[in-house]
Amino acid sequence: MGLFDFLRPKPRSVLEALQSSPAFQEQKEIFDAMDAVCQAGIDADEMPNGTGEFGFTATNPIPCRTVFGSTAYLGRLRAADGTKVAYQRLGSMQSSVSPHPIDMYEVKHANGRNLATLYISPYQKRISAKAPRGFLLAESSFAQAPPVKNVVTEPDGTVKYYSCGVLHREDGPAVIEVYPDYDGPERHRSWYRFGVLDRLDGPAVVGGRTSNGQYEWWRAGVRHRDNGPAVIELIESYEFGRGPVYEWWRDGIRQKVQDGDGILYYFKDGKTILTELPDGCRIIERDDDLRFEDADGKDLGDPPPPLEAYDGYLEHSECLNMLYREPQSTFDTFNPALANEVAED
């Protein structure tokens, strides 16, 4: 060391450099102000006056200490399959459980799928150690957290697969309903992921092959199929009568139905706007008025009686509609006649 080396300024540590940063000072002031407000908050994992499902409503938000605590909490949050989630703040709102705003966060799976909108109260004394239903908390933002799985067999033989408290299974149906008169493939199976009906490679609901012949395609909790009807009921439909009944759905919206008598129904905004009868005649519904016309658009006067009373009308009518039929390969693939599936733990 030279004679005058002691006069040179000592290099600052990384912490000292950070603390002298204007941006850091600004964030610290925000934290200190929020932290002071948090002193009057509750010291619990759940709001004692909360109502509704924890984390999913503004009236039962997740307690956290400052928005920095909210970030720490969300950084530890994992989906039902153990995957780290992504999140984005949507805004804030008022709630009766706190005099301070409640923050809303959109929470997504790493694959981009929406999982939930969570509500957080960032003005409480501590960060909650409780995870909302369908989620779990890791030890830290970088830690892995294996999901808590369990299989429940109900008294009637129905088997249900859960993860973090919600129906979820990656390698098969999460619900297998077994009834005394069912045998082998005659089971009602439902595929769930993250608590909602969802399947990528086939129908999410498969009923008995000969008992009810029910098939439903679901994506992320809504009926949806790109290349065909999302609901097929081969034997009978509660709403549309004898089968086969086909229903076309896209993104949870019903667009068209073909019933077992060859009647076609078209929907808009949840209401029937057009009914095509097998003989080519049509019933057009517009502003609560009905117009009954033939295939050429000629007005035929009063329409026939309601659809449930069409049997006599249909008996004397040749079906001219181009009717859809699901390929047999669909049923052979997803509900094989000789399958003997058993639930595996």
Q: In three state form, how does the secondary structure of 287-340 look?
A: CCEEEEECCCCCECCCCCCCHHHCHHHHHCCCCCCCCCCCCHHHHHHHCCCCCC
Same domain, 126 and 156: no
Q: How many domains does the chain have?
A: 2
Given pLDDT bands bounded at 50, 70 and 90, which one contains residue 243?
Answer: confident
Residue 293: per-residue pLDDT: 83
Residue 223: per-residue pLDDT: 97
Mean pLDDT of 120-131: 95
Q: Tell which of 126, 142, 158 closes a domain.
A: 142
Q: Tell which of 142, 169, 197 closes a domain.
A: 142
Same domain, 174 and 311: yes
Given pLDDT bands bounded at 50, 70 and 90, which one contains residue 235?
Answer: confident
Residue 273, domain member (yes or no): yes
User: How far from each other are the two terminal CA atoms of the chain, in whole angstroms?
Assistant: 72
Residue 68, domain member (yes or no): yes
Given pLDDT bands bounded at 50, 70 and 90, which one contains residue 345?
Answer: very low
Same domain, 193 and 65: no
Same domain, 129 and 230: no
The answer to whether 105 touches 117, Cβ cutoff 8 Å, is: yes
Same domain, 134 and 167: no
Tell me the whole-structure pTM to 2 decimals.
0.79
Q: Tell which of 142, 160, 189 closes a domain.
A: 142
Instruction: Domain of residue 98: give its range.
Output: 23-142
Mean pLDDT of 320-334: 86
Same domain, 160 and 304: yes
Residue 1, domain member (yes or no): no
Same domain, 283 and 154: yes
Residue 238, domain member (yes or no): yes
